[in-house]
Amino acid sequence: MKKAKRIVDTVILTFASIAIISMTLLSIWQVIARYILNNPSTMSEEIIRYTLIWFTLLAAAYVFGKNKHIAILFVRERMSWNAQVALTYLAQIAILLTAAIVFIYGGIRITMLTAPQIAPATGISMGFVYAALPVSGVITLFYTIYNIMTIERVANKEDEDVKSL
């Protein structure tokens, strides 16, 4: 499971790197086209917007995989160790349900609903843009299952890689 997680991490980081570089270059082109050539590129603006959506949702899934998401720790840290472990399980189950229902189920529904719509400047199906939701949900689900499987090792202080739970 650790190997699969490393592969998913690598794929997401590679995509994120390409996305950031692409958005930067397209933004530079947008500025040049608008202010130097006096001919704004609507296509690049739309591509930047859609790339940002994909980047944000995949980066959010990655953050769940690293357990670096926002958490209110001062409440948890005042509890006993067993209560902290139980709360960690509860939080992971809540994330799992949210990823499954909202991101995957809801994302598939909205993707299917918007698939016939075409973006005006690029001609891209809006279904592709909204597909970032279920893809992000599947990755978040994978990471959450991985996190649930590692809670016991963290509770028993057996695994240095997952002490951030």
Confidence label for 162 from pLDDT (cuts 50, 70 and 90) = very low
Instruction: Tell me what pLDDT residue 153 has.
Output: 66
What's the pLDDT tens digit per position in 15-36? Answer: 999 999 999 999 999 999 989 9
Percent of the chain whose predicted confidence (pLDDT) is above 70: 92
Mean pLDDT across 43-69? 92
d(CA 135, CA 12): 11
Q: pTM, whole model, 2 decimals?
A: 0.83
What's the pLDDT tens digit per position in 95-126? Answer: 999 999 999 999 999 999 999 999 988 899 99
d(CA 125, CA 132): 13
The Cα-based distances of 121 to 21, 49, 89, 92, 152 in angstroms read: 21, 12, 45, 40, 51
| Segment 20-29 long-range contacts (CB within 8 Å, at least 24 positions apart) | 20/55, 22/47, 22/51, 23/48, 23/51, 23/52, 23/55, 26/51
Confidence label for 73 from pLDDT (cuts 50, 70 and 90) = confident
**Residues of 66-84 as b/e, b for ≥16 C-beta within 10 angstroms?**
ebeeeeeeeeeeeeeeeeb
Residues in the chain: 165
